[in-house]
A and B are shown apart, each in its own frame.
Chain A
Amino acid sequence: MDDELAISVRGLRKVYGDNVAVAGVDLDVRRGEVFALLGPNGAGKTTTVEILEGYRRRDAGEVTVLGADPAQPDAGWRSRVGIVLQGTGEFDELTVAEVIRHFSGFYPDADDPAKVIERVGLADKAKARTHTLSGGQKRRLDVALGIIGRPELLFLDEPTTGFDPEARREFWELIRDLAAAGTTIVLTTHYLDEAEALADRVGVIAGGRLVEVAAPNRLGNRQEALATVSWRTPDGTLESAQSATPTAFVTDLAARYGGEIPGLTVTRPTLEDVYLTMIGHAR
């Protein structure tokens, strides 16, 4: 096992009845990296992550997480892994502070509960019963429980579902802080901007397969993709052309028009375009 790797997966398969949920995934996540698994619902994101978290058994493949096989999780391994599940497990009758304090007792090197509450932005809700929290606040509580044990590796399964834009930005800051402190982070999301904003590398998963793994700006060879230049001709019709050298193309065009080019736009495929193409191919 390479010490630089937090996660190493080879040939991972998981089948439910006739449904192949994960069909041979290979994946490496380096220590300290923020890795996003991006994919549509039912692509196999959660199944993959829950196998890595030690919740589900795999049918085939080799998996090493922090140097151990997650299929046999022991307490030492558990204390190094933080988990934010997709669903929010609620403790209706308890307050935010009570739940976080209680969970801190399970870890050998837990963080200060008050500090964690502050960090996830629940300070003014510390004494509130968890059932009075909004969806976004419950999610923050989930995150607090995921990081209370000061994990080396943090899994986040669709962490910002139900967040308003501001809460999402705050959450991203928190993830960046954790990453800066050396925490390895694996998150699943179906928000492209989230993957782009947070991840060092993105793995696109579709139909149980990892379609591509790359830095967000390199996904689908986005950088090398042809640019689309479009403009309006004097009679008002929209023209467009694909070009590998859009600057030269626009310079020529400007010369032709003797100055301003009416309705000029130059675009490259967005992450969304690339992503939709990728998951489209996988289907």
Chain B
Amino acid sequence: MLILLPIGLLLVAALVITILDRVRPNYGTAWLIATGVSLTAWLAIFIFRLWLPTTLPVLSWEGTELNLSGYFSLVMDYQSWPYALALMTITLAIVLTGAARTRYDSAPKAWAASLTITALGLVAVQSGTSLTMMLAWVIVDLFELFYLLRLADADQFNFRIVLSYGVRVGSVMMLFLATMVGWQSVHSFNLNTIPQSSGLLFLLAAGLRLGVLPLNLPFLQEPVLRRGGGNILRLAPVASSLVLLARLPENTLPANLGGNSWILFALLAIAALYAAFRWLAAKDEIEGRPFWIVGWASLATASVLNGEPQASIAWGLALLLPGSLLFLYYPRIQRMNFLLYFGLIGLVGWPYTPLSSGWVGLVGSGFNLWTFLFVLAQTVMILGYLNRILQPGGEAGALESWARLVFPLGLIIIIQTTIGLGLIGWPGSLTLGLWWLPLISSILAAAAFFLSRRLGISPPYLQLPASSRLTQVLEWATPRLESIFRLEWLYRALWSIYTLLGRILQIFSQTLEGEGGILWTALLLLLLIAALARGANF
């Protein structure tokens, strides 16, 4: 039952803050409640490390006369615990750093929303069965949909929000299909024993949700929420997909896929490289956030394809924690810029750092072209991160005195958790790893960095001079390449098929509903009888 404690605490706190905000609005009280509860929940999850793995059966539909399949359970194990802790850390950091963003998007309503999303995200992350995960995904998606729609005014964002929801529904349906297929092999399996027959479908469900398989980016511009609540709203669904990756079987790719597995690797490599370069070129971290997510998620997904699902955790945590360090670092304060360098601990993958256990996921059975491309993507992601670090900050004097204290605390807790997870996150998290890969990556990153300076690309923005020939070439090529890499052409083709199918069905329907409908009905009936009488034996 202890599993439910953080979830319950967060939900109750969200409710209390919402009621308080309506009845007697008090910023300080609401902040204290949010902080106190987040800290308690964080500690509860942290202490839970001593009791791994723990399963809590929640509800079962089986064993009754209704003859239904499926049951619900929550699991805290070595796959879910790191993500649960990361999610809770981000929430705590949101509330703490929120003290410095009172002029922007930090308000009791946003904290209540953050706590609710985190609670739902924790349910999703700790899902023990596919039914539990489906349920959690649906609730998170509906919450996000209604929350974003309530905030968005512009039609362009409404369209994007609904489109994003459509992709999420697609991932739920894929999970639905994966569950159906899985149940054919093993009746009522849990997520730790996903049958190999449905592994690929589970992978596609997670990949679709993460935006990597196939590449899809409904939100290229953040509609309303940017920091704080916006961060957890973006990352909670991502965490619940990442944990699914970590639970997939080692032989996720079916044997009959044979030599065609390169298609999946190619799609992932495209997603990883495209996202990495867009992250590097993004104007700021919020504009680059969708690419940050896709970039790291691609590497996590590649680990599963290479038969190392456990390695995906390291990549997933790189996405969540150092990413949040950057996204929550607002307002920027020059004297605190150094804190961002600690984020590199979670990104570079040097031996005995949190990411060191992830490299094996990129190599799989041996170093190949795909490994090289994935390492290249990781290098570009780091360059992009460096680019963000180098941006100048403002003065601390703009903050209130208490905010000056808690704002860095929020960032430090992320750094501490990153380091902590590297040490005790899961068996094998503290490892030498494949030391030569981070060496290659770091050399590449350093070379690129210094080369850029030589080429006159001036920091802090690592942007080419507007007059350079390379800039003109890139300006011409980027939109063209982008439409290819973002697979918009594929989606447009699918849309055309959809429209064509719609027209055919429409004509069919109009014919049956028209004046001669009864005659058509009779004709179709005769055809059907003939077909059925031939196909079935009485």
Chain A complexes with chain B: no
